[in-house]
Amino acid sequence: MGQSDYFDEGALVAVLTTQPLGRALDYKAPEGGVMRGAFVEVPLGPRKVIGVVWGAGAGGFDLKKARSIARVLDVAPMREEMRAFLEKCGAYTLTSLPQMLRLATLHADEPAADVAPCDPRTWAEQSAVNAKSLPFGA
């Protein structure tokens, strides 16, 4: 663990969320500091969303406007290997990092909000229609 893996209170950190923003957002580290890879809750507009501390913040704006991380979740942090895997996989498949994070953290019991539940009867009917439309008459 390097010195840059821990960020003191008030330090600017980049937090990657699953929101379709295409980049990490800068927040101030909370009281007690925060580790790289920590799962955190951050304010985003009027609501709070979950994210992962991805690294040091980029800055480039008035630091007085930076909001603080609301809380650090009591779960194991995302390991460096997983973060590197998501970055490489996203680059290879041309998938944004927020989308990769969403895929990596999607709970198995909850379907994605934009994916309709599959009705097996509908799937079977559609398969039959597709088979009849094939030129070789499967």
Count how many domains the chain has: 1
Q: pLDDT tens digits, residue range 31-48?
A: 999 999 999 999 998 999
138 inside domain: no
76 inside domain: yes
Bigger pLDDT: 59 vs 72 = 72
CATH of the domain at 97: 3.40.1440.60
Give the tokens for residue 32.
Answer: 């007690």
**Residue 36, class by beta-carbon neighbours within 10 Å (0-12 exposed, 13-18 middle, 19+ buried)?**
buried
44 is in which domain, residue-wise? 3-132
Compute CA 70 distance to the chain's CA centroid, rounded to the nearest angstrom. 17
Answer yes or no: pTM beyond 0.85: no
Residues linked to residue 50 through DSSP beta bridges, in sequence order: 41
62 inside domain: yes
User: Does pLDDT of 115 surpass 60?
Assistant: no
